[in-house]
Amino acid sequence: MSVNLNYLQSARTLFQYYKDLGSKAINQLSEDQIHWQANSSSNNIAVVVKHIVGNMLSRWTNFLTEDGEKSWRHRETEFEHSIKDKKELLATWEKGWQCLFDAINPLKADDLDKIIYIRNEGHTVLEAMNRQLAHYAYHVGQLVFLAKQICAEDWQSLSIPKGQSKAFNQEKFAQDKDRKHFI
């Protein structure tokens, strides 16, 4: 398998991982909790989702042929409270991820060296994917952190629960060595 093909498979898997992580965090929240914010200068879950999706729609729509910062994107409005309920939040979340996967799933290994632009700055497709993967991981981390704070004792761990590292590692080391993605 070529390095570029391996990268594409790995990047797709990581994007899916961060989507799933965010979805699992959101699913633990009530209608009211998606709008909770620590203070007036903080973002709530709905705003974080709105920003991630605004970025996704701009970056991934026609991303091989158009600048990733679309003229129709109004970034500042992404930080306004307009998502009304959890149903709308989840539909918005899915729309952004669908746009991303529709753009990256058809990519071939040779596409990774193509030059695309974000705000007139040239990136290879590989660089642009890394940029967006890091951006979404950053914001999904914020989303998960907020959700964990909001849920407090009711939080259901999305990784290895506290106090269970030893058992988790024992299970992993009891298996044969294998090359696979950690997810």
The three-state secondary structure class of 41 is coil
Residue 179 lies in a domain: no
163: CATH: 1.20.120.450
Specify the pLDDT at position 143: 97
Residue 36 lies in a domain: yes
Residue 168 lies in a domain: yes
Q: Residue 140's domain spans which residues?
A: 3-173
93-106 per-position pLDDT tens digit: 999 999 999 999 99
Residue 7 lies in a domain: yes
Residue 107 and residue 85: Cα distance in Å, rounded? 35
Specify the pLDDT at position 3: 82
Number of domains in the chain: 1
Strands (E), the chain: 115-118, 121-124
Residue 142 lies in a domain: yes
Instruction: Please check whether residue 14 is in contact with residue 104, taking contact to mean a CB–CB distance below 8 angstroms.
Output: no
The three-state secondary structure class of 89 is helix
Region for 143 from its dihedrals, namely left if φ exceeds 0, alpha if ψ lies in -120 to 50, beta otherwise: alpha
Rounded to two decimals, the pTM is 0.92
Instruction: Please check whether residue 67 is in contact with residue 118, taking contact to mean a CB–CB distance below 8 angstroms.
Output: yes
Residue 43 and residue 142: Cα distance in Å, rounded? 10
Above pLDDT 90, what percent of the chain? 84
Q: Which of 51-60, 61-70, 171-180 shows the lowest mean pLDDT across its residues? A: 171-180
Residue 19 lies in a domain: yes
Instruction: Please check whether residue 96 is in contact with residue 52, taking contact to mean a CB–CB distance below 8 angstroms.
Output: yes
Residue 180 lies in a domain: no
Residue 164 and residue 171: Cα distance in Å, rounded? 11
Residue 178 lies in a domain: no
